[in-house]
Homo-oligomer: A and B are copies of this chain.
């Protein structure tokens, strides 16, 4: 059977829900809309062929992430407010015509969304999310390609390295999983670490965006020392002792 016109009311309702929640379940749609599962599934299939959603077992997720607002999983919504503050502080460090690098990580993503209207900026990134967030608008966007690492949605690997070598940006804004005075900057994935290392070397200035919960944490692979950082931005949850220790490494510290 060919579906030509099915109640657009329902499609709109589903789309609306997905804009808010990024994931819906068949059963829940049945209750909300008041139709049978079969109908809901037909609607979803239809929307999938239009490229609006992606069906998954049990329901559907939105297909084009840039449409949905609070899209990113749990991570981005955690400590959202702190991240927003940190991003605002980072904004102060950017000149209108800079060339900057944004790496993966939810705090950096928060910064990216605030740059959408800065038309003369050039933004280099190895993060799919950052690229999506900026895809429609303002700044010139250059994406470092490579193999897509699913978990972080960033590009890593040899091809990534090849491309980073060619580029030299004014400032890099970077996140990290762990920051420890003795053990330095650490993250979970070796390839990711290698990429971060390369980026640090190719940038004139390194700005680290870290919410205070990461301070003192140590992850798997190191990608630099605290002294490699030029400016360090965190929220006001950080202890003064930690911040003092970081300042001693000749790092400018900003608390937002």
Contacts and interface: CB of A to CB of B under 8 A. Distances in A.
Task: Determine how many copies of this chain the complex contains.
Answer: 2
A67 B68 contact: no
A51 B23 contact: no
B49 A110 contact: yes
Interface stretch (A30-38, A54-62, A208-216): A54-62
Nearest to A164: B145
A243 interface: no
A145 B132 contact: no
A35 to B, nearest CB: 13
A interface, over-half SS: mixed
A132 B132 CA distance: 8
Interface string A123-159: 0001011011111110011111111101001010001
A14 B49 CA distance: 28
Contacts of A51: 74, 76-77, 80, 106, 109-110, 113, 133
A155 B155 CA distance: 14
Interface of A: 2, 4-9, 11-12, 15-16, 22-23, 48-52, 54-58, 61, 63-65, 67-68, 70-71, 74, 76-77, 80-81, 84, 106, 109-110, 113, 116, 126, 128-129, 131-137, 140-148, 150, 153, 155, 159-160, 162-163, 166
28 contacts: A7-B23, A7-B58, A9-B23, A11-B71, A12-B68, A12-B71, A16-B67, A51-B109, A51-B110, A52-B74, A54-B113, A61-B136, A64-B132, A128-B132, A128-B143, A131-B148, A135-B148, A136-B150, A140-B148, A141-B148, A142-B145, A143-B148, A145-B145, A145-B146, A145-B160, A159-B166, A162-B163, A163-B163
